[in-house]
Chain A
Amino acid sequence: MTDVAISRRGLRVLKACFGLLLLFLYAPILIMAVFSFNDSITVTFPLSGFTLRWYREFLSNGELMVALRASAIVAATSSAIAVALGISAAVALVRKRFFGKGAVSGLLLAPLVIPYLILGISLLILFNAAAIPLSILTIATGHVVISVPYTVLVLVPRLERVSVSLEEAARDLGASGPRTFRSVTFPLILPAVISAFLVAFTLSFDEVVVASFLAGDQVTFPVYLYSQLRFPTRLPQVIALAVAVMAVSGFVVIGAEIGRRIADRRLATQLASAGTPETRGIP
């Protein structure tokens, strides 16, 4: 790739900057990964030797595993609900004409800019006032509020690329509204639905502020981690767990992204040939 606007030297500077950015982003994670295998209770250089002790330790830490399970449940429920709400919102925003659409879309996206601290406090007040006991369900509710705007942002552009006439064609051929959604709209936005789900899931999985406000007896994994930082002896196994979680989520996200790209490319060629038909002869 040659860009006429940038000189060769400028390009070198840019590349160096990019390298620094990568270092800045990933060096902490790398160091953490290194320390997770370090055979010492103190997290300092020099390294003392290789061990898998910390990994074994967290696996046998019952409290931690329970917190992890709670997080998985919260993340799964909250992201499923957020995606369902996100789909309805996206369909309304993209397909329907109604009064105050701009205001509605603004309101939908507002949680993006509301500090989590404030969201957490206000939800806590709300649940108290409504006499709803705090549990992992209240955490999940809080996470739905946080993730809906993200799911909307992921779903809207995709839905915009699915031509309305495809839905009209289905209707025309005898499909009811729900049937049209099931047979045509949903399969065509599926990659975005999966992306939205993953975004919402990861968002919920490592969210600590809202969760700590809304947690009842059972805390989630990030809240537990945060509380354990006070005990220096627990630190190495916390690090090991963090690395394990990161590795798993990394694999999941990369896998999903690859899948989405493949599906996207296929749909793009399909839509391109359906939208602006080529004018080859009939063989």
Chain B
Amino acid sequence: MSTPRASRVAIGLEGVRKRFGSITAVRQVTLEIREGEFFSMLGPSGCGKTTTLRLMAGFEEPDEGRILLRGVDVTGVPPNRREVNMVFQHYALFPHMSVFENVAFGLKLRRVARQEIRQRVMEMLEVVRLEGTERRRPGQLSGGQQQRVALARALVNRPTALLLDEPLGALDVKLRKEMQLELKRIQLELGTTFVYVTHDQEEALAMSDRIAIMNNGDVEQIGSGREVYERPATTFVAGFVGLLNELDVRVDEVQGDIAVMRTGDDERVVVSADDARPGDRLRIAVRPERICIEERSAPHTAHGSRLGGVIARVAYLGTFTQFHVDTSIGIRVTSHRLNDERTDMLSAGDQVFLCWGRDDAFILGGAGSSGGDVA
């Protein structure tokens, strides 16, 4: 098993563009996927993530730009001569072949010696924990098992990168969570580069080293899960990854690098802003889990934001409770609180204060972006 070499580039896309008729599926995508990393492409359906993956595999050819595998230009090279392998959305196992034949398919084509084929197939079936199923047909396996066969069939060829096209989409929630852990385990065990396409942000956050957020054929931001979640580069990223409260406010006062909006007695919204001036209009965002709820009687705190409101609706969601609060500035704000005795006491109609720290809020559209986004 090779160890990940973080510095080298497994797959590079340079200014890749792909059009289908009048629709531009991918516009000018440039990105580098490092050797051994778990790289996700995340976005809504139709954002170009699957097309980008298919461009890497060679099923589509770009109209413009280059595709590099380990630094070698493979633009125009057919899929059967690219050292990447794919796991398809519905597995695409050959129904007329046994599990063994499915997994051995790629090795046979490479004219690997029979003895070695047998050994490598068995090894790989062990990695995906499917020992003993080699004589069965794919139709006799469960969805999760078929998924593992698809993984083994691709990984047994020791590809430069494994391309996965929403492989868990067809599984139920519980199995999906299990397979997420499995995928991550296998990826770490083999040290293979994984390129993972999904529209499920939780899935991408759970497994990825880095995530590319795509929208309308563009990469909006590339970064670690924490980066794209906490410091989204664009409004789209902020809205797509996780829930978000958006507040449109006007700056009343600037104290150093902090913009302050006074919204009433004892109430204010603050946010870090480098070059804000009084009178500026800002759109600021706060994640629901960053907003705490205090009863009206609670003592006033000097720092951070504080906004009065009335609880409009309470939704109990197991580990946490979702509070919808109509604030004094006329915007409904959502707060997530882990359940404890205090959240149990709050109910619709209660007068409350919402509060969050200065660094919990960020300005949407620009400031604080951590680079990596491609125009």
Show the binding face of A for B, using Cβ within 8 Å. Answer: 163, 165-166, 168-176, 179, 183-184, 187-188, 266-267, 269-283
Contacts and interface: CB of A to CB of B under 8 A. Distances in A.
What interface size band does chain B fall in? 35 or more
Contacts of B90: 163, 165, 274-277
Given A168-B59, A176-B80, A273-B139, A279 B109 contact: no
A172 B146 contact: no
Contacts of A163: 90, 92
B106 A173 contact: yes
Contacts of A277: 90-91, 142-143, 146-147, 170-171
Contacts of B139: 266, 269-270, 272-274
Nearest to B172: A279
A279 B175 contact: yes
Interface string B103-123: 001100110000000000000
A233 B155 CA distance: 75
Contacts of B157: 173-174
B64 to A, nearest CB: 21
Contact of A270 (B95, B106, B174, B175): B95
B146 A179 contact: no
- Which 10 pairs from chain A and chain B are nearest by CB? A270-B95, A277-B143, A173-B106, A280-B142, A270-B139, A165-B92, A279-B172, A169-B92, A174-B109, A273-B139
A232 to B, nearest CB: 55
Given A277-B143, A281-B144, 8 more contacts: A171-B78, A171-B80, A174-B106, A175-B105, A277-B147, A277-B170, A279-B171, A282-B178
Given A279-B171, A281-B142, A282-B178, A171 B94 contact: no
A277 B171 CA distance: 8
A168 B79 contact: yes
Nearest to A278: B143
Contacts of A170: 94, 105
Contacts of A188: 95-96
A171 B154 CA distance: 12
Contacts of B57: 172
B233 interface: no
Contacts of A280: 142-144
Contacts of A174: 80-81, 106, 109-110, 157
A279 B175 CA distance: 8
21 contacts: A168-B59, A168-B88, A169-B88, A171-B79, A172-B86, A173-B105, A173-B109, A173-B154, A174-B157, A175-B80, A267-B95, A267-B96, A271-B95, A273-B141, A277-B90, A278-B143, A279-B144, A279-B172, A280-B143, A282-B142, A282-B145
A269 B110 CA distance: 31
A282 B95 contact: no
A283 B143 CA distance: 11
Contacts of A165: 88-90, 92
B99 to A, nearest CB: 12
Contacts of B129: 282
Most buried by A among B57, B80, B84, B172: B80
- Considering residues B58, B139, B153, which has the most beta carbons from chain A within 10 angstroms of its beta carbon? B139
B93 interface: yes
Contacts of B154: 172-173
A270 B96 contact: yes
B84 to A, nearest CB: 8
Given A168-B79, A174-B109, A175-B80, A283 B91 contact: no
Interface in B52-86: 57-59, 78-81, 84-86
